[in-house]
Structure 1
Amino acid sequence: MEQENNKGAKAPRLVNKRGAARLAAVQAVYQLEVGGSRVNDVVSEFEVFRLGQELDGEKYRDADAAWFRDLVQAVFEEQKIIDPKLHSILSQDWPLKRVDATLRSILRVAYAELLRKKDVPAKVIINEFIEITKAFYDQDEPKLVNGLLNRLARDVRADEFDA
């Protein structure tokens, strides 16, 4: 994630603990899908070996472990709501199962946060997940995530957009 410095060059965007937790949640949900592991095992692995830790020479950012755990658990618990809703807002010729696994994980975690974390404004959640998407993709995916999350947010948080 990047931000422009005063000389116009791109510099890494500093991420707060919730932002790091969101990114870790996306990675964990991805790992759950492609690896077929159990939720508690993956959450424990991230909390012990990744959040704020060094792994294979890479230093992971310190993250809000409770926020991370809540998001991963929300995706797991709300899967029967999340996936059908995501499927319904995608075009018929591009169903959820055809969406790239990383992008699917981003959308699942973002929607889970929209559903569960009512104290965080929807626009903040959307912006955070657009930035996460930019960390993985540099084409049209951030625009797609923006559009889809705006539709989801207007559906589940209409009161925030009515003003």
Structure 2
Amino acid sequence: MTGQAAPISGNQKRKMRSAARLYAVQALFQMEHSNQSVNSVYLEFLDHRFGAQVDDDCDMIEGDEDLFRGVLDSAVDNQRRIDQMTDRALVAKWPIARIDPTLRALFRAAGAELIGNDTPPRVIITEYVDVATSFFPDGREPKFVNAVLDHMAREARPEAF
């Protein structure tokens, strides 16, 4: 076997998909705050985050490139629809424009998957609650994310419930 990579295990694929979701939230946050295009952020993440070595003890995991790109493109292309869906899931006094920008990016990434992906909604919710936990390990945000995403999922894919 010359030049062929070892097959990727199912567990490794799941980790790569989880990493892609985390990177997508970070990329959407970065796009909102830097006014960079989706293409420039996409390339930056591929070049500097996917599989990058942070220090001697920590390597960033390789992300699922297709999922990452798909989430970014769908979030950008469908941002208005996703934001409206998020607004309907939020309390009336807290429209999406008023929430934490990290949560806004997370809802956009998750919303992109809910409207343009065949992954079961419960899997998407669980994955993004895990992302919220990584950003807010001691806060109430993961429970908030769970509730909002459950509402969004029931709107986007009522047949799954």
Question: What is the TM-score of this pair, normalised by structure 1?
Answer: 0.85
Whole-Å separation in 1 of the counterparts to 2:92 and 2:80: 19
* Shift in alpha-carbon separation, 1:36–1:55, aligned structure 2, 3 A: farther
Q: Which residue is equivalent to 1:51?
A: 50
Whole-Å separation in 1 of the counterparts to 2:69 and 2:156: 22
| The 10-residue stretch of structure 1 (75-84 or 50-59) with the greater mean CA deviation from structure 2 | 50-59
Q: Which residue is equivalent to 1:28?
A: 27
Deviation at 1:54, TM superposition (A): 2.0
Q: What RMSD, in angstroms, separates the aligned Cα atoms of the two structures?
A: 1.5
Is the CA contact 1:32–1:38 (under 8 Å) kept in the aligned structure 2? yes
Residue identity opposite 1:133 in structure 2: A
Q: Deviations over 1:51-83 (max 9, x none)?
A: 111246652111111110110111001012111
Indicate whether 1:116 and 2:116 are aligned. Answer: yes
Whole-Å separation in 1 of the counterparts to 2:32 and 2:98: 14
Whole-Å separation in 1 of the counterparts to 2:88 and 2:160: 22
Whole-Å separation in 1 of the counterparts to 2:82 and 2:34: 20
Whole-Å separation in 2 of the counterparts to 1:32 and 1:54: 23
Is the CA contact 1:111–1:152 (under 8 Å) kept in the aligned structure 2? yes
Whole-Å separation in 1 of the counterparts to 2:53 and 2:115: 32
Whole-Å separation in 1 of the counterparts to 2:36 and 2:120: 32
Whole-Å separation in 2 of the counterparts to 1:28 and 1:18: 15
Question: What is the TM-score of this pair, normalised by structure 2?
Answer: 0.86
Is the CA contact 1:49–1:55 (under 8 Å) kept in the aligned structure 2? no
Q: Could you say what secondary structure the match of 1:124 adopts?
A: helix
Indicate whether 1:93 and 2:77 are aligned. Answer: no
Indicate whether 1:159 and 2:123 are aligned. Answer: no
Whole-Å separation in 2 of the counterparts to 1:80 and 1:107: 12
Runs of at least 5 residues in structure 1 that lack an aligned partner in the other structure: 1-13
Residue identity opposite 2:77 in structure 1: E
Q: Which residue is equivalent to 1:150?
A: 150
Whole-Å separation in 2 of the counterparts to 1:92 and 1:154: 18
Is the CA contact 1:71–1:109 (under 8 Å) kept in the aligned structure 2? yes
Q: Deviations over 1:88-146 (max 9, x none)?
A: 2211211111100001111110111111112x111011000001100011211111110
- Over the matched positions of the two proteins, sequence identity in percent amounts to 37
Q: How does 1:123-142 map to 2 (within 5 A)?
A: 123-137=122-136, 138-142=138-142
Q: Which residue is equivalent to 1:83?
A: 83
Give the total of aligned pairs. Answer: 147
Deviation at 1:85, TM superposition (A): 1.6
